[in-house]
A and B are shown apart, each in its own frame.
Chain A
């Protein structure tokens, strides 16, 4: 029974993702497909970030570094090394995971604001490094020869295919965050979030658990980066490492409910929806970042645990049904 209840949470989450995927197929509009792509990307990034932010309690302000690095590594392999998209996706994920693993030892011992600051520093450091790294095109970045798309049946097919891969990565991120949340490893992460010293006394091997969480939260963003820039056709330091995207991911996780499987999906969907509305509106068009700041403030003040957390508090029984 409780097994079924728990897997209900996963099924429900995947259904929400499926709805977003089906919507453009139903309307048959390319613009809807692009919007859905953006929402799916937001969900994949938010669900991944949630493993670190929501489960482990470590606020990463520079999480976009994994997206950017994966993007660069993937793009380089496709455009310079003539590798396939599949190789690029794997390499992008691996590069992001490797970076997280290496960084883990250096910055995960930092707690609270120090860790958050270090993550910003790392994003800026990687950006500065790539700015000066000639094989990756330095400050100019790299362009894709669109002939490459021919191998995949032409641009139209590429847009179709990347949409489906994005859907797959989003589902993978959601499944991963569910598996982590309901595992013994995940319970150890929650203990770290609640009280790291107590967790250590209980026997959680905190340095290792934190490193695994960090790596797991980095891999899918790396793959998404590789996919995104393949579709985008060019990459440069400014669009690979936008710090404000990190902050938007945090807002999404917190809006939906940090530490819950459903939260990031809901948060990303709502945030992107709202953002879409604001972008159309000429008054708000230029201040959408300020708006996300205000949303964040509102969350922190009024629903610090996000929508799902608020529901959990209201209806404790939901805690098991929607983990």
Chain B
């Protein structure tokens, strides 16, 4: 049980009349990359928000490193070693890129003092390839760079669990390739990752395991091979068998 970093047990979330998540259950072993896929509006981001303490679940329980975190505030989870990026990037616009990333280090798992945080931030900026932009204001970055900034800020927290929400969306193919390498390199550092993604070949390529959500329900779970061959996934999620075929070709 020790190496399960996250346990999601029967989690549901209702918004007014809308059931955004229904009885989602899975265990996440430390050190893995778990892909989270599903059509638009399936509840993927909502699941992140519930895990991350932005919303309390309507039912169910979440354990992080063996501790019940169901009703913890999001900043407490940050201190415990959970970090995330946002699907709609949230750069702190009028702060410099360096300050954005220093914040991650200052208020993350290691609660670093400013001088240390600056060192960490510069290392991480180097790692994600934003080092030359350190002194620019965050708002002056382009979309791809803002995605990297989100990632850098999360990484500077030295998290144990990293939630990545569509970090590839809006990137061109070469940027995607670069980002995929970055994600793999993050796993090399021993950080567990859950990754939401619509770019299929990329998510199939990096994930150890995947979960598929559809209308808030978990309709499949397994290795990339199992997922692309799962008829229910092809039916409910991909809908179009053509896409499924393409996916499998991309796999090979």
* Interfacial residues, chain A to chain B (CB-CB below 8 A): 183-184, 187-188, 190-191, 193-195, 197-206, 259, 316, 319
Q: Which chain A positions have C-beta within 8 A of B75?
A: 200-206
Q: Which of A184, A191, A259 contacts B114 (CB 8 A)?
A: A184
Please give me the residue from chain B that is nearest to A201 by CB atom.
Answer: B74
Segment of B24-32, B93-101, B171-179 engaged in the interface with chain A: B93-101
What are 26 of the A-B contact pairs (CB < 8 Å)? A184-B106, A184-B113, A188-B106, A188-B107, A190-B99, A191-B92, A191-B95, A191-B103, A194-B92, A194-B93, A195-B92, A197-B54, A197-B90, A198-B86, A198-B92, A199-B103, A200-B74, A200-B75, A202-B103, A202-B153, A203-B79, A203-B104, A203-B106, A203-B157, A259-B94, A319-B96
CA distance A195 to B93 in the complex (A): 9
* Interfacial residues, chain B to chain A (CB-CB below 8 A): 52, 54, 73-75, 78-79, 84, 86, 90, 92-96, 99, 102-104, 106-108, 113-114, 117, 135, 137, 153, 157
Q: Which chain A positions have C-beta within 8 A of B94?
A: 190, 193-194, 259
State whether A201 touches B103 (Cβ < 8 A). no
Q: Which of A204, A205, A206 contacts B103 (CB 8 A)?
A: A204
State whether B107 touches A190 (Cβ < 8 A). no
Most buried by B among A193, A197, A200, A319: A200
CA distance A195 to B139 in the complex (A): 13
Q: Which of B73, B92, B117 contacts A184 (CB 8 A)?
A: B117
The 10 A-B residue pairs with the shortest CB-CB distance, nearest first, are A203-B78, A203-B107, A194-B92, A198-B90, A203-B75, A184-B106, A200-B74, A184-B114, A205-B75, A200-B75
Please give me the residue from chain B that is nearest to A2 by CB atom.
Answer: B118
CA distance A259 to B94 in the complex (A): 11
Min C-beta distance of B53 to chain A, whole Å? 9
Q: Which chain B positions have C-beta within 8 A of A203?
A: 75, 78-79, 104, 106-108, 157
State whether B104 touches A187 (Cβ < 8 A). no
Q: Which chain B positions have C-beta within 8 A of A201?
A: 52, 54, 74-75, 78, 84, 86, 90
Q: Which chain B positions have C-beta within 8 A of A183?
A: 114
State whether A202 touches B114 (Cβ < 8 A). no
CA distance A274 to B106 in the complex (A): 42
Min C-beta distance of B170 to chain A, whole Å? 19
Q: Which chain A positions have C-beta within 8 A of B95?
A: 190-191, 194
CA distance A231 to B54 in the complex (A): 51
Please give me the residue from chain B that is nearest to A320 by CB atom.
Answer: B135
